[in-house]
């Protein structure tokens, strides 16, 4: 609908509304006035008729009354007249149809339905009523007059509306013409033509609008020229920024590779050294090398993670795992640093969480580890608590993870900044406690990707609480068997230890990390049927490290120095059971080599050989590209004995024939006396029998656990067996039973990896023999301790 049509219709509607009100009001007033005139005339005529007829009625002069009624009816508008006394009619005159109708007095004109207004007046003298007169006044003339007035008003209204429509049309046409010019100019400006100009004469609003458009066109023309220049400059800057960003990504990839390559050698070789029997001072140095290199690796990983987040390459990879087991692993790793700080570590997990969940296991563990590590690092006294609770919500559970500490706390002003990259509570915190300030930022990003958010509640000097909630479906049909009695006893034992150990110095004497309690173990006996492994690696140091790792694990391996040689070796000596493939190599990189191997297999109808990516970059795009060219798995550098062993077991399990379990080299050194001395030093006035209680507790636990292990073997329940041995291994470490600890580790691994119980039974027999030796030594220690206490 055009503007002109809208203008005409709008004005017409207003006119119709106003005219309707005016005409209607006039007609109503005219009707009211006509009704009053008829009523007044009827009253006047009836009163005059009654006055004339009074004497004749009193004297009962009927002839005179008849003359009077005829004279009244002769008056214009009087339809009939009648004189009555009681119910008797003395005289009447008028048309028959009017005289024959039943007389009903009309009080108002609205009651008239036959065109005659009926009125009556009593004839009285000295307050005595002798009779009455009845007359009928015609309303036809008044009705005709009102109709005539209505027609006249309607004609005037139609004429007014016509003139109004004509005026509206003229005005609308004028305004539309002006607006079309403005529209045309605006369209030209929209199309980029700023040369258009309007006739801006006139002081009315349209003239002012034309002036404004002309001014806007001119200003836009000037602004566009300026923006074009700025755009050119920004384009150049963008190109520079993109080039710098590409350089940053390239630097990140190169940095990752260059840093991880030496770290690979440091971590792998120190891992190998830690498995050998060394002097305590050398072993301590090796442990410090491991701790420092792993700390450096963690910082490199944090920087890579934050770079992935900025580059939108950060993704989650969900898989099925047991949530309760994951939490217990995090708690196990946290207990040693907590003990070295001289603080208690408490872990509470809802039993309902003992089931399979679908999440990114590695990222969830990263978040929990970050939160727990931060809590321990910033807590000098008191405790750190990890609690995980679950609340049923229909077909899923709302699982809340909470890490609470009694540490230094965080001020209200700094809390909002804490989750930003490279931010810590203050500069002094960085100096005192170290760290990059990336952990919380990365953790927040991970939790947000999982559909939640880390919430912080803290008071400076009173501690902090970090928590987040995830909606998780838990498959409780797939659980890891646990022993409730074992769990309760472990809580009691740990609570007793944390309650007794007061100072970091005492804890450092007591601390028995796996690397410290680990006994010296010989390499595995040669196996007749092992995996046929091909390593494709250009870096000499990495080749040496992998060779040492393979020798330690008892595997034979062929080596190719680059991708070309790797493909040639595969074609000449293959097929192999597994190929370990580096990615960045001269001549032919790992992607091209894997593609060539897959093509060779396809052309010669060979089974697909597992190809494992070995990369120091650990970038998501490399993992995706590895999958695209047919690689099966990836091994992130720096590698460790455990990571290599895990990947080989995963992909070579069908090709291995297990030999007898690993044996402890020197079981004559059954007990580490330095550990027992540390336990003795923890006797105090508050806990005078701490040492004796620990030894007694171990002996009691040993008898019970061995019975339950024997029953688990009889039931062919390897899952329960692994859980029992894992628990008992911790008890062995507390009392320094190195040989027994190592056998526990072997049995736990066998129970986890080997579906057959033959090796488990053989290893358990070795454990029983070693346990007898431990028991004899500890009983002697108890007798000596009781003697010293008594004297």
Q: How far apart are CA 500 and CA 694, in angstroms?
A: 12
Helical packing angle, 718-735 and 484-500, nearest 10°: 20
Helical packing angle, 690-714 and 718-735, nearest 10°: 160
Which has the higher per-residue pLDDT, 472 or 510? 472
Residue 244: pLDDT band with limits 50, 70, 90: confident
Looking at residue 619, its pLDDT comes to 63
- pLDDT tens for 112-122 read 777 788 888 88
The answer to whether 117 and 139 are in contact (CB under 8 A) is yes
Q: How far apart are CA 21 and CA 145, in angstroms?
A: 20
Q: Which of 160-164, 442-446, 503-507, 564-568 has the lowest mean pLDDT?
A: 503-507
Looking at residue 492, its pLDDT comes to 39
Q: How far apart are CA 49 and CA 53, in angstroms?
A: 6
CB under 8 Å to 667, separation ≥6 — which residues? 739, 770, 773
Which tokens go with 209? 């609008």
The answer to whether 567 and 611 are in contact (CB under 8 A) is no
Which has the higher per-residue pLDDT, 791 or 781? 781
- pLDDT tens for 266-322 read 777 776 676 666 666 676 667 667 667 766 776 677 676 666 666 666 678 888 888
Kindly report each contact of residues 526-530 with a partner whose C-beta sits within 8 Å and lies 24 or more positions away, as own/partner: 526/554, 526/659, 527/554, 527/656, 527/657, 527/658, 527/659, 528/657, 529/655, 529/656, 529/657, 530/554, 530/555, 530/556, 530/655, 530/656
Pairing of strands 455-459, 463-472: antiparallel
Which has the higher per-residue pLDDT, 420 or 462? 462
- pLDDT tens for 731-759 read 888 888 888 988 898 888 888 776 567 77
Give rounded-to-5 percent helix, strand, coil for the chain: 60, 15, 25
How many residues are listed for the chain in this entry? Answer: 791
- pLDDT tens for 647-659 read 888 887 554 433 3
- pLDDT tens for 599-632 read 999 999 888 899 999 876 656 677 788 888 889 8
Average pLDDT, rounded, for the chain: 77
Looking at residue 386, its pLDDT comes to 93
Residue 567: pLDDT band with limits 50, 70, 90: very high
Which has the higher per-residue pLDDT, 62 or 367? 367
Looking at residue 428, its pLDDT comes to 46
Kind plus residue range of the DSSP H or E element containing 155:
helix 140-190
CB under 8 Å to 639, separation ≥6 — which residues? 264, 267, 268, 545, 546, 549, 614
| Helices within 311-360 (DSSP H only) | 323-341
CA distances from 248 to 302, 423, 442, 483 (A): 16, 22, 20, 52
How far, in whole angstroms, is CA 579 from its chain's centroid? 40
The answer to whether 612 and 301 are in contact (CB under 8 A) is no
Which has the higher per-residue pLDDT, 409 or 518? 409
Q: Respond yes or no on whether the N-terminal peptide bond of residue 575 is cis (omega within 30° of 0).
A: yes
Which has the higher per-residue pLDDT, 642 or 246? 642
Q: How far apart are CA 566 and CA 331, in angstroms?
A: 43
Residue 669: pLDDT band with limits 50, 70, 90: low
Looking at residue 405, its pLDDT comes to 93
- pLDDT tens for 7-51 read 777 777 887 788 778 777 777 777 777 778 777 878 888 888 888
Looking at residue 472, its pLDDT comes to 92
pLDDT at 546 over 50: yes
Strand partners of residue 671: 737
Q: Please name which of 44, 46, 68, 48 lies closest in space to residue 56, comparing C-alpha atoms.
A: 68
Kindly report each contact of residues 741-744 with a partner whose C-beta sits within 8 Å and lies 24 or more positions away, as own/partner: 741/517, 741/518, 741/519, 742/518, 742/519, 742/521, 742/662, 742/664, 743/664, 743/767, 743/770
The answer to whether 576 and 609 are in contact (CB under 8 A) is yes
- Look up residue 655 and give its DSSP letter: G
Percentage with pLDDT > 70 across the chain: 78
- pLDDT tens for 574-589 read 889 999 999 888 889 9
- pLDDT tens for 407-435 read 888 887 777 777 776 555 444 444 444 45
b/e string for 425-438 if b means 16 or more Cβ within 10 A?
Answer: beeebeeeeebbbb
**Domains observed in the chain:** 3-158 (3.30.450.20), 280-511 (3.30.565.10), 522-655 (3.40.50.2300), 673-790 (1.20.120.160)
The answer to whether 304 and 256 are in contact (CB under 8 A) is yes
Q: Please name which of 733, 727, 734, 740 lies closest in space to residue 691, comparing C-alpha atoms.
A: 734
Which has the higher per-residue pLDDT, 352 or 429? 352
Percentage with pLDDT > 90 across the chain: 12
| Helices within 589-714 (DSSP H only) | 590-603, 620-628, 641-652, 673-681, 690-714
Looking at residue 687, its pLDDT comes to 66
């Amino acid at each position: 609908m055009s503007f002109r049509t809208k203008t005409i219709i709008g004005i017409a509607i207003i006119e119709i509304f106003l005219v309707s009100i005016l005409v209607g009001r006039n007609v109503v007033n005219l009707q009211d006035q006509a009704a009053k005139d008829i009523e007044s005339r009827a009253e006047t005529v009836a009163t005059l008729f009654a006055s004339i007829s009074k004497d004749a009625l009193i004297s009962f002069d009927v002839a005179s009354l008849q003359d009077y009624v005829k004279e009244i009816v002769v008056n214009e508008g009087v339809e009939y007249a009648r004189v009555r006394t009681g119910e008797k009619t003395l005289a009447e005159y008028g048309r028959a149809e009017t005289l024959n109708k039943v007389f009903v007095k009309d009080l108002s004109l609205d009651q008239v339905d036959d065109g005659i207004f009926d009125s009556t007046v009593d004839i009285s003298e000295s307050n005595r009523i002798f009779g009455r007169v009845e007359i009928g006044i015609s309303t036809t003339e008044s009705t005709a007059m009102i109709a005539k007035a209505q027609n006249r008003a309607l004609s005037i209204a139609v004429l007014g509306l016509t003139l109004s429509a004509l005026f509206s049309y003229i005005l609308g046409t004028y305004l539309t013409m002006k607006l079309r010019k403005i529209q045309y100019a605006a369209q030209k400006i929209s199309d980029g033509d700023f040369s258009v100009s309007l006739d801006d004469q006139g002081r009315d609003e349209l003239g002012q609008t034309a002036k404004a458009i002309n001014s806007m066109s001119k200003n836009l023309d000037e602004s566009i020229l300026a923006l074009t220049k700025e755009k050119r400059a920004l384009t150049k800057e963008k190109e520079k920024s993109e080039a710098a960003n590409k350089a940053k990504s390239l630097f990140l990839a190169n940095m990752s590779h260059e840093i991880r390559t030496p770290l690979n050698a440091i971590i792998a070789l120190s891992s190998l050294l830690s498995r050998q029997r060394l002097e305590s001072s050398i072993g301590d140095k090796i442990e410090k090398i491991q701790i420092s290199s792993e700390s450096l690796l963690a910082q490199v990983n944090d920087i890579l993670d934050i770079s992935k987040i900025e580059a939108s390459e950060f993704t989650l990879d969900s898989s099925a795992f047991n949530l309760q087991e994951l939490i217990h692993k995090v708690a196990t790793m946290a207990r040693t640093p907590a003990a070295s700080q001289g603080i208690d570590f408490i872990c509470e997990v809802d039993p309902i969480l003992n089931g399979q969940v679908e999440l990114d296991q590695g990222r969830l563990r990263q978040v929990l580890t970050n939160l727990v590590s931060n809590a321990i690092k910033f807590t000098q006294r008191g405790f750190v608590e990890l609690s995980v609770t679950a609340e049923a919500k229909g077909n899923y559970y709302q699982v809340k993870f909470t890490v609470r500490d009694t540490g230094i706390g965080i001020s209200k002003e700094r809390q909002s900044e804490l989750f930003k990259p490279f931010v810590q509570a203050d500069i002094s915190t960085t100096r005192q406690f170290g760290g990059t300030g990336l952990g919380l930022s990365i953790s927040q990003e991970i939790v947000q990707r999982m559909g939640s958010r880390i919430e912080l509640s803290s008071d400076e000097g009173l501690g902090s609480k970090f928590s987040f909630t995830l909606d998780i479906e838990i498959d409780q049909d797939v659980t890891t068997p646990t022993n409730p009695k074992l769990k309760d006893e472990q809580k009691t034992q740990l609570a007793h230890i944390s309650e007794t150990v007061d100072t970091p110095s005492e804890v450092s004497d007591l601390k028995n990390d796996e690397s410290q309690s680990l006994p010296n173990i010989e390499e595995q006996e040669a196996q007749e049927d092992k995996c046929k492994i091909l390593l494709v690696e250009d870096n000499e140091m990495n080749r040496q490290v992998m060779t040492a790792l393979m020798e330690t694990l008892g595997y034979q391996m062929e080596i190719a120095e680059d991708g070309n040689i790797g493909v040639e070796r595969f074609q000449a000596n293959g097929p192999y059971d597994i190929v370990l493939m580096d990615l960045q190599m001269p001549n032919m990189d790992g992607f091209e080599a894997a593609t060539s191997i897959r093509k060779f297999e396809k052309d010669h109808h060979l089974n697909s050989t597992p190809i494992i990516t070995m990369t120091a970059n650990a970038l998501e795009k490399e993992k995706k590209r590895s999958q695209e060219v047919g690689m099966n798995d990836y091994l992130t550098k720096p590698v460790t004995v455990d990571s290599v062993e895990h990947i080989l077991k995963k992909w070579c399990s069908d090709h291995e024939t297990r030999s007898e379990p690993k044996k402890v080299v020197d079981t004559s050194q059954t007990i580490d006396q330095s550990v027992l001395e540390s336990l003795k030093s923890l006797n105090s006035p508050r806990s005078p029998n701490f040492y004796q209680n620990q030894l007694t507790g171990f002996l009691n636990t040993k008898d019970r656990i061995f019975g339950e292990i024997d029953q688990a073997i009889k039931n062919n329940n390897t899952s329960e067996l692994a859980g029992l041995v894992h628990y008992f291994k911790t008890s062995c470490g507390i009392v320094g039973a190195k040989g027994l600890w190592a056998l526990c580790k072997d049995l736990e691994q066998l129970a986890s990896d080997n579906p057959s119980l033959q090796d488990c039974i053989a290893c358990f027999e070795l454990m029983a023999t070693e346990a007898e030796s431990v028991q004899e030594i500890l009983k002697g220690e108890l007798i000596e301790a009781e003697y010293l206490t008594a004297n």
